[in-house]
Amino acid sequence: MAESRFGTHRVIEPKGSLPQAAFCIDATPVCGDTEILIDVDVLNIDSASFHQLKEACNHDVDKMKQMIKDIVKAQGKMQNPVTKSGGMLIGTVRQVGKLHHDQHLQKGMKIATLVSLSLTPLYIEDIHEINLTNEQVSITGQAILFDSGIYAVIPDDMDEKLVLAALDVCGAPAQVKKLTKSGQTVFIIGAAGKSGLLCSYVAKKQVGKKGKVIGLVNEESQVKLLKELGYVDEIIMENALNSVSVYEHMINITDGKLADLTINVVNVPSTEMTSILATKDEGIVYFFSMATSFTKAALGAEGVGKDVTMMIGNGYTKDHAEITLNLFRENKQLYDLFMKKYA
């Protein structure tokens, strides 16, 4: 079969599908003419997937290592069979195919892939370490990046693990920058997480003094962090699953007006109605959470008579990597925090 820039030539089952939708793909670590072969150092498992793996294994790192190996062996990619999500990786270019569109990429360059592990052919030789705090997995292995796959060369002025942590969620703050406007009320569910902090910072800049950013967290330590950072104007401490309670908090904080824009970046399922109830009629709900259910969101909004525009968070928008990395260049507080928590 001729090589496809979208990687369909590596799909084993079912034939005709794209790699992300496929159950099984060919992860043979041999570089095709339109591909890039990467020696992988670190996998950054996406938050929803990592949370599910950790819970399923009772936080046992050895069990998690084996589960990851089993998933990759069965599917040829790191796609969590429960959440269907992946993550991204950092590695070193070993070979660039002769027909790949970017011949400026050279052997030995360190890159971060900006496409999901759920569609990336991955071969794992060994898993060395799993960091339960920053969701990063150190491995020896190889990966294939298709001709359509996007990536970022690791900048010289930043720690590569910080870059990996930031780029794993870079679509979220970049999209929030496009959506937010001066004077808006923005509600961020999961405001103290990795993507939540970036989204809060961007939203606060965008809405200005006339706007308001409200953050939802579920731990006292997260409340303390948000107060210290100053990226949100109001904080709600509540479980994101308690939709009615969160709604009542929002009614009180906004004098019944609710949010113009709600951003959902939590890593647990069944928070769709919390997002919808907290948003005003004709407002926007942006679901960046990989635990989002289309069925729950669509039927739930219908069930409570809410006319909101619901958007699925696209992990890609133009210049999203550079937009996000520049946040760290302009804000030392944010840089230091991510270095401490994720690098």
Q: Quote the crossing angle between the two packed helices 320-330 and 160-167, to the nearest 10°.
A: 130
Task: Determine the length of the chain.
Answer: 343
pLDDT at 1: 58
Alpha-carbon span 231 to 211, nearest angstrom: 12
Token representation of residue 256: 């019944």
DSSP label at residue 16: T
Token representation of residue 202: 């961007």
Token representation of residue 71: 């998933």
Determine the 3-state secondary structure of 156 from DSSP: coil
Q: DSSP characters for 14-76?
A: STTS-TTT-SEE-------TT-EEEEEEEEEE-HHHHHHHHHHTTT-HHHHHHHHHHHHHHHS
Nearest residue to 74 (alpha-carbon basis) of 19, 24, 141, 15:
24
| Domain limits, the chain | 8-154, 171-337
Single pTM value for the model:
0.86
Token representation of residue 102: 């970017």
Q: Residues near 336 by Cβ (< 8 Å), separated by ≥ 6?
A: none
What backbone phi and psi angles, to 5 degrees, belong to 163?
-60, -45
pLDDT at 289: 87
Alpha-carbon span 77 to 101, nearest angstrom: 23
For the 171-337 domain, the top CATH level (class) is alpha beta
Which residues is 343 bridged to in the sheet? none
Residue type, 123: Y
Q: Quote the crossing angle between the two packed helices 171-179 and 320-330, to the nearest 10°.
A: 90
Low-confidence ranges of the chain (pLDDT < 50): none
Q: How far apart are the first and last CA of the chain?
A: 42
Q: How far is CA 157 from CA 89, 135, 226, in A?
A: 19, 23, 27
The greatest distance separating any two alpha carbons of the chain, rounded to the nearest whole angstrom, comes to 61
Cβ of 151: how many Cβ atoms within 10 Å?
A: 23
pLDDT at 290: 85
Determine the 3-state secondary structure of 67 from DSSP: helix
Token representation of residue 45: 């498992």
263: Cα within 13 Å, side-chain hemisphere? 35
pLDDT at 7: 96
